[in-house]
Structure formats: structure tokens, C-alpha cells
Amino acid sequence: MPTVYSPPVSTYVALATTTLASTTTELTFSNIPSSYRDLIIVANFRMSGVASATRAQFNGDTTSGNYPTVWMVGTGSTAVSSTDGGTSMRIFGQNAGPKTVGQMGIVQIMDYSATDKHKTVLVRYSGADNDITAQAGRWASTNAITTIRLFDSGGQSYQIGDTFSLYGIEA
């Protein structure tokens, strides 16, 4: 039996946002409420130089193997597909290369507050001066996500004026 909401329920709810006032190598969304179905992160950023990739960790989990990922990348001349794993999830920018002009990434985390399943993550990264990717990943934990840490694995810095926003999706 479908559920009809009357009156309609507001969805795509803004949870947190930041516009960087100083450079930083990482940032963390914390105290994420469990009252939504999915999460969406929208990032619009640049890096301080040749960078590796932005990576994500959930709830401080650094367990090796808990972040399997598969992606396809277009560099503007070649198309590649590959996989990754490790102690964090690689999300933005699969090629080490210049990211000093505007980059953007959208991360969708499905059923983030569920406690009976691993978490599926879909990522679209657009770097017009570097590469473009579509990616699927999994956080191998049944814990609800309460924190999301974003950082660059090469130690590069996000720049003043970069924006990172988190939204909750009702369902």
C-alpha cells in the first residue's frame, strides 16, 4: 500500500553548509540526525596544487577494506574503469592532476541511517580541467552514519571560498 503524504512533506532539507574562510586539508560533518532516508553532499572546490583525491570516512571508521569502490573516468581523451579500497572511500578526482580551478562533486548516500544494511554511495565528480567520473561505493557497516569526514589523501588544501553542503532527503 503506497503512502500518500497530505499535506506534502518537505524533502531535500538543508542540514549544514560551509564556505571556507581559510584553507583547510579536511572538514567533517557531525551530529547528522537519523531522521532522513538519504544524504546528499554538494561540493564546489579547488585544491592548492596537484592533488591525489578527496576521500571520505564515515563515523571515524578506518578499517581497511570497509570502503570498496568502482568507478569510470573520462580524462577528455581516454576512458578508464578501476576499483579502489582501503581505509577510506576515494570520491573526488581519480587522476592526480591540476584541480586549481572549479571542481564539483555530488555524493548520494542511500539509507544512511539504516542499521540493517551496508551503505551504498553514488558519486559524480566533474573536474573540467582534470577528469570526470561516475562511481559506486559501499561502506561495509550496518551503523547509521553520524559523521562524514572529507580530506585529500595527498595533503593538499581546499581553498578560501570553497563550499560544502549537506542535505537530507525525506522518503
**Site residues, another protein (CB under 8 A):** 10-18, 27-33, 42, 44, 72-79, 101-104, 106, 124-129, 131-134, 161, 163-168
Q: Which residues contact 135 (CB under 8 A, 6 or more apart)?
A: 69, 70, 71, 72, 91, 94, 121, 122, 123, 124, 125
Q: Shortest distance, CB of residue 124 to another protein, whole angstroms?
A: 6
Per-residue cell: 98: 591540476
Is the CB of 155 or the CB of 161 nearer to another protein? 161
Q: Which is nearer to another protein, 50 or 160 (CB)?
A: 160
Smallest distance, another protein to C-beta of residue 131, A: 7
**Rounded to an integer, what distance in angstroms lies between the CA atom of residue 89 and that of residue 92?**
10
Q: To the nearest whole angstrom, how small is the minimum distance from the Cβ of residue 68 to another protein?
A: 21
Nearest approach in angstroms of CB 109 to another protein is 14
Q: Which of 64, 63, 60, 52 is nearest to 25 (CA)?
A: 52
Determine how β-strand 89-92 pairs with β-strand 148-152.
unpaired
**Minimum distance from residue 103 beta carbon to another protein (Å):** 6
Of the pair 18, 142, the CB lying nearest another protein is at: 18
The Cβ of residue 31 has, within 10 Å, a number of other Cβ atoms equal to 8
Q: How deeply is 156 buried, as exposed, middle or buried, from its count of CB atoms within 10 A (0-12, 13-18, 19+)?
A: buried
Is the distance from CB of 103 to CB of 92 less than 8 angstroms?
Answer: yes
Choose between 26 and 61: whose C-beta lies nearer to another protein: 26
Closer by beta carbon to another protein, 49 or else 74: 74
